[in-house]
Structure 1
């Protein structure tokens, strides 16, 4: 694992590659988490995470679903690729002045299994998000506290 200073150097000089999960339930609502961390702190955002060096896309998908949602065994083959997006942020995880964050995001739509975490059980991990909720696409598009990068997935 990179130390914070090494990772800040990466953020300063290169885009990060990540997977965002457009998770829906059987009613068509999307799962959003209230972000604890920079960038996009204190906004509602879809779950997701960075792809690690030398990690396959399939392994990254499984890890991100497990880490972000607490659901084991999810396969990327069961998701639908929704496209490649770019996210630009004026800040960074460390709050370092003058360092922006650039993500190249692979977005995947995935329906939460009915017997999975959506079935009334806890969803997600508290280190990344302070709260989780399900919103219809119309609801999230109408809210000011849903990040624009998340709204782009539903336009």
Structure 2
């Protein structure tokens, strides 16, 4: 792990590679959480996280699902949904003028879970919503809406 100053410099100079988790329940609804931390703080967003150096995609999926959902989910349960780019005008500390660029690998899985048991570190509230509602909800971050606009009728 990098010291915060080194990580800040890396974020200013390089794109970060991350995974976003599109989790669908038995009713076809998707999980979103109200972001606690920058970037995207205060917006509804899907769970996700950064891939670490020398971490395989398989291991990253396992770790991020465990950290974000509190569950061990087998990497084989996830299906790739596409590659996206996210650009923010702030960094992980919310410092304006210090942009962040993510290359995001979106993965989808079917799994129902109790949102009352989810970790609160990155999101302080959760909800299940149909794709078309997520795509139209102004409280959902536009980067999350993009995952679902292509699915909305």
Q: What secondary structure does 1:122 align onto?
A: helix
Residue number in structure 2 paired with 1:41: 41
Other-structure match for 1:137: 131
Residue aligning to 1:103: 102
Please report the TM-score for the alignment, with normalisation by the length of structure 1. Answer: 0.92
Partner of 1:68: 68
Partner of residue 7, structure 2 = 7
**Cα distance in 1 for residues equivalent to 2:120 and 2:97:** 29
Cα deviations by residue, 1:82-113 (Å, 9 ceiling, x for unpaired):
0110001111111333210100000001111x
* CA distance in structure 1 between the partners assigned to 2:2 and 2:146 by the alignment: 31
More strand by percentage: 2
Structure 1: which 5+ residue stretches go unaligned?
none
Structural RMSD (CA): 1.2
